[in-house]
């Protein structure tokens, strides 16, 4: 059987970052920057008032209380200001440029609020309530680096440095297709021998959580031709494809039957539990990466975490490798088959981790109650309560 790490290494060697694309900043949320972004100007661009109040010369208010003449108003957005002469003040609003000659702002709360003359009750030191040009960003400073994920604050600073468009690695478009004659759409009645289809919903959600775009292509029956036709139709809009089911050792394995003859997709047994039957390769003229995951819901989910999620990071130009893990102490003894790496569903709470009782690869409700996977190495078949283990938080 193929080791888990080698399967991931093969996948990461085969996937490429998507080509950069220039997008409107409104459309950049969730994408990864493909350029360094610098500010063409200092931010703030000019010295301005941090408060509503009066622009003064600090030396004129040092002997406060004092009463001084008000020569006018400076509002946010005003330009072409006159310099402030000695013994004079001007009203000033938050964000308004500081007139030449002024070196402090007296907050309105320290005054009687006068418009022709104002009584100032307290002295203000030089520099009081002034936001200096460049104190957030100097002209030419890089504010965002290539490789940064764009969240709301990053969209904000892109606009703040005057950008309308930005070069990003787009979110990969991932089509998720389930197979199985037994699958019924949720919301429709269950016939005899049927189950509601859950994998494509779960995997499309996992794709979105991983920063990509997940499209659910629904499910097809176990007819290889129907599978292939649906896949062909979906390839047009896909940067990657995930299928579930139809890759095991039985009969009626449409994914394996349809893709094996192409010679571009490899089906293998990976030394892991759950999730042993795995397939990976490329399909179509554009050689779109395809992950053919096993059908059992827990198996497909674990396969996503171990193999697909790192690949989606690589496609976004992000550092990619095995999922991050922590260490914790197990609250119960663990069992694991020899020669396979186990990923046991568990609840991680601080320093301890409790395996859930139902560990079947079909037991999706148990997965939904878990928040972590305990990793038991290939050469370990049992561990006592209190053992330190590796844990992948979900």
**For binding to Mg ion (CB under 5 A), which residues are involved?**
180, 245-246, 295
CA distances from 158 to 43, 76, 233 (A): 12, 22, 37
The answer to whether the peptide bond before residue 44 is cis (omega within 30 degrees of 0) is: yes
Q: Which residue is nearest to ligand AMP (CB)?
A: 295
CB of 224 vs ligand AMP, minimal distance in Å: 13
Nearer to ligand AMP, 137 or 367 (CB): 367
DSSP state at residue 223: -
Nearer to Mg ion, 49 or 296 (CB): 296
Q: Which does 198 bind (CB under 5 to 8 A by kind): ligand AMP, Mg ion, none?
A: ligand AMP
Phi, psi of 306 (to 5 degrees): -80, -35
CB of 253 vs Mg ion, minimal distance in Å: 7
Q: Which does 297 bind (CB under 5 to 8 A by kind): Mg ion, ligand AMP, none?
A: ligand AMP
CB of 260 vs Mg ion, minimal distance in Å: 16
Buried b (16+ CB within 10 A) or exposed e, 119-150: ebeebbeeebbbbebbeebeeeeebbebebeb
The answer to whether the peptide bond before residue 186 is cis (omega within 30 degrees of 0) is: no
Nearer to Mg ion, 277 or 295 (CB): 295
Q: Which does 48 bind (CB under 5 to 8 A by kind): Mg ion, ligand AMP, none?
A: none
Nearer to Mg ion, 110 or 227 (CB): 227
Q: For residues 49 and 78, what is the distance between their CA atoms, to the nearest angstrom?
A: 12
CB of 169 vs Mg ion, minimal distance in Å: 34
Residues that bind ligand AMP (CB under 6 A): 178, 180, 182-183, 195, 197-200, 219, 244-246, 248, 294-297, 362
Nearer to Mg ion, 110 or 304 (CB): 304
Kind and range of the H or E run holding 72? strand 66-74
Strand partners for 345: 373
Nearer to ligand AMP, 43 or 176 (CB): 176
CB of 231 vs ligand AMP, minimal distance in Å: 15
Q: For residues 105 and 126, what is the distance between their CA atoms, to the nearest angstrom?
A: 8
- Tokens encoding 5: 């790490």
């Amino acid at each position: 059987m193929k080791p888990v790490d080698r399967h991931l290494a093969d996948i990461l060697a085969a996937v490429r970052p998507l080509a950069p694309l220039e997008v409107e900043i409104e459309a950049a949320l969730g994408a990864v920057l493909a350029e360094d972004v610098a500010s063409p100007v200092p931010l703030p661009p000019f010295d301005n008032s941090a408060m509503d109040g009066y622009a003064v010369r600090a030396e004129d208010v040092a002997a406060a209380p004092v009463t001084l003449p008000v020569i006018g108003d400076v509002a946010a957005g005003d330009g072409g200001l006159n310099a402030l002469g000695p013994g004079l003040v001007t009203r000033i609003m938050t964000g308004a440029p500081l007139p030449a000659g002024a070196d402090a702002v007296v907050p309105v709360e320290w005054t009687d609020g006068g418009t022709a003359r104002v009584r100032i009750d307290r002295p203000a030191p030089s520099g009081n309530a002034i936001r200096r040009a460049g104190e957030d960003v100097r002209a030419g400073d890089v504010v965002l680096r290539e490789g940064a994920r764009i969240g709301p604050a990053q969209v904000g600073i892109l606009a703040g440095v005057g950008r309308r468009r930005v070069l990003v690695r787009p979110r990969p478009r991932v089509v998720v297709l389930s197979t199985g004659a037994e699958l019924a759409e949720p919301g429709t009645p269950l016939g005899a021998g049927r189950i509601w289809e859950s994998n494509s919903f779960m995997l499309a959600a996992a794709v979105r959580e991983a920063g990509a775009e997940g499209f659910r292509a629904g499910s097809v029956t176990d007819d290889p031709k129907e599978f292939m036709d649906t896949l062909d139709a979906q390839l047009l809009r896909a940067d990657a494809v995930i299928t579930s089911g139809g890759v095991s050792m039985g009969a009626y394995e449409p994914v394996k039957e349809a893709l094996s003859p192409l010679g571009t997709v490899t089906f293998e047994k990976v030394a892991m539990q759950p999730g042993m039957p795995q397939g990976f390769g490329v399909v179509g003229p554009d050689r779109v990466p395809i992950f053919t995951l096993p059908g059992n819901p827990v198996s497909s989910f674990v396969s996503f975490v171990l193999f697909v999620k790192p690949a989606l990071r690589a496609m976004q130009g992000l550092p990619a490798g095995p999922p991050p893990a922590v260490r914790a102490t197990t609250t119960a003894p663990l069992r694991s088959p020899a020669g396979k790496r186990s990923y046991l569903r568990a609840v991680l709470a601080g320093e301890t981790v409790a395996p859930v009782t139902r560990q079947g690869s079909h037991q999706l409700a148990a997965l939904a109650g878990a928040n972590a996977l305990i990793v038991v190495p290939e050469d370990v078949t049992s561990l006592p309560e209190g053992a330190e283990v590796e844990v992948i938080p979900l």
